[in-house]
Amino acid sequence: MVKEIERTELEPTSTENRPAEFHESKEELHSLFRTMSLIRRFEDTGWEMYTRAKIGGYFHTNHGEEATVVGTICPLRPQDWIVSFYREHGHIIARGTDPKYVMAELFGREHGVAHGRGGSMHLFDYSRHFLGGYGIVAGQMPLAIGVGWSSKYRGQDEITLLLTGEGAMANGASHEALNMIGLYHLPVITVVVNNLYGMGTTVHESAANPEIWKRGEMYGMHGAQVDGMDVMAVRRTMQDAMKRASNGQPSLIEAMTYRYRGHSVADAARYRSTEEVQSWRQQDPIERFYRQLSKADLITEEERNAIDESVEKQVNAAVEFADSDEHPDPNGLFDHLYVDPPAGVSL
């Protein structure tokens, strides 16, 4: 018999007072801060464009999860691969794809990253080894076995970052993927972005043992849990996992975070309290990073304002580009379905 689990507010476990240690240059830190701010701005504007019907379909934002995005993706090297899921606008931007091509995709235009065929859930940039966003929960996970295997097979020093949500960890595909990644000692780092809710279902309602990072051991991986609202903590955990991956040890990282908005634009998130959302907003990853940097005299208010202004400009330019970009030609409906199909045959 299934009893409904009594819900309590899911409060953040803060590492706010952890002294931030910075080994990075000021420029590098500012770049991380800027990328987080850019993603926030991009999502704000994207949401607005959605409500103005410039964007259709589903629309899942990274609001509140910016530290998990930037902390895991920015340390990667150009040769490393990323396999992501459907909440991936920030992921592709953090990887360096120009936001104007991302926005154009959301607008369904020809010069979008998937030429208007993919949309919000299916962003892609092969040149940056960003192997896509996927719309079936956990369905992207088995792909990472093959990407990791391929690096090893080709004898290349490449790491694969597999991003997934905690909801996917209840699906069978996650088990097959993690078991095989562990079994073959593949250079794959699996990051579970645990935002506590799979749509409206809490992790306590979907996981027999909600401490997902502990599954690492069972798959022969290094398991770690990290405060996903602290970009530097995520970054350190990721850098450690990268060292392990290069030595043939995969990792399973659980990054504790929170999405400020509903599951998608269509979700008003009535299943959680205002107090709960507020308690997480107080841990806002961008504000926290700013406080850390500020305390260490690594950023001034003027510098922050300049960054904010510059990302606003960049996102506005992205919207302008997307809005004026051409729609795909309906005559190209069947383009890309097959590579070199045989002539004169019904496909």
Partner 1 sequence: MPVITMREALHDALREEMIRDQNVFLLGEEIGRFGGSYKVTEGLIDEFGPERVLSTPIAESGIMGMATGAAMTGLRPVAEIMTINFIMVGMDQLVNNAAKIPYMFGGEARTPLVVRTPSGAAHQLTAQHSQSLEVWFAYVPGMYVVAPSTPADAKGLLKSSIRNDNPILFVENLVMYNEKGEVPEGDHVVPIGKADIKREGGDLSIITYSRMVHMALEAADVLAEEGISVEVVDLRSLRPLDVETMIASVKKTNRALVLHEGWYKYGAGAEVAAQIQEHAFDYLDHPVVRISGQEVPMPYSTVLERAAQPRMEDVVERARFMLGRK
Does 116 help bind partner 1 (rule: CB under 8 A)? yes
The helix (run of H) or strand (run of E) holding residue 224 is strand 222-227
Q: Which two tokens mark 289?
A: 């990073």
Question: 190: closest CA among 171, 209, 215, 210?
Answer: 215
Q: Which two tokens mark 335?
A: 């383009």
CA-angle at 166, arms to 163 and 171, nearest 5°: 95
The helix (run of H) or strand (run of E) holding residue 202 is strand 201-202
Residues from 171 through 210 that contact partner 1 (CB under 8 A): 172-173, 176-177, 179-180, 183
CB of 188 to partner 1, least distance (A): 10
Please say whether the beta carbons of 83 and 140 come within 8 A.
yes
Does 124 help bind partner 1 (rule: CB under 8 A)? yes
Does 325 help bind partner 1 (rule: CB under 8 A)? no
Question: 169: closest CA among 184, 187, 191, 188?
Answer: 191
- Binding pattern to partner 1, positions 128-147, x when CB under 8 A? ---xx-xxx--xxxxxxxxx
Stretch that binds partner 1, among 87-95, 266-274, 295-303, 337-345 (CB under 8 A): 337-345
**Closest to partner 1 by CB, 126 or 268:** 126
Please say whether the beta carbons of 63 and 97 come within 8 A.
no
Q: Which of 3, 17, 331, 338 binds partner 1 (CB under 8 A)?
A: 338
Cα dihedral 142, 184, 125, 339 sign: negative
Neighbours of 77 (CB within 10 A): 10
CB of 311 to partner 1, least distance (A): 26
Residues from 25 through 84 that contact partner 1 (CB under 8 A): 81, 83
Q: DSSP letter for 222, please.
A: E
CB of 337 to partner 1, least distance (A): 5
Stretch that binds partner 1, among 3-11, 54-62, 112-120, 210-218 (CB under 8 A): 112-120
Q: Which two tokens mark 281?
A: 């907003």
**Closest to partner 1 by CB, 10 or 143:** 143
**Closest to partner 1 by CB, 142 or 210:** 142
In whole angstroms, give the CA distance from residue 246 to residue 225. Answer: 20
Does 331 help bind partner 1 (rule: CB under 8 A)? no
CB of 136 to partner 1, least distance (A): 5
**Closest to partner 1 by CB, 148 or 167:** 148
Residues that bind partner 1 (CB under 8 A): 81, 83, 112-118, 122, 124-126, 131-132, 134-136, 139-151, 153-154, 172-173, 176-177, 179-180, 183, 335-342, 344-347
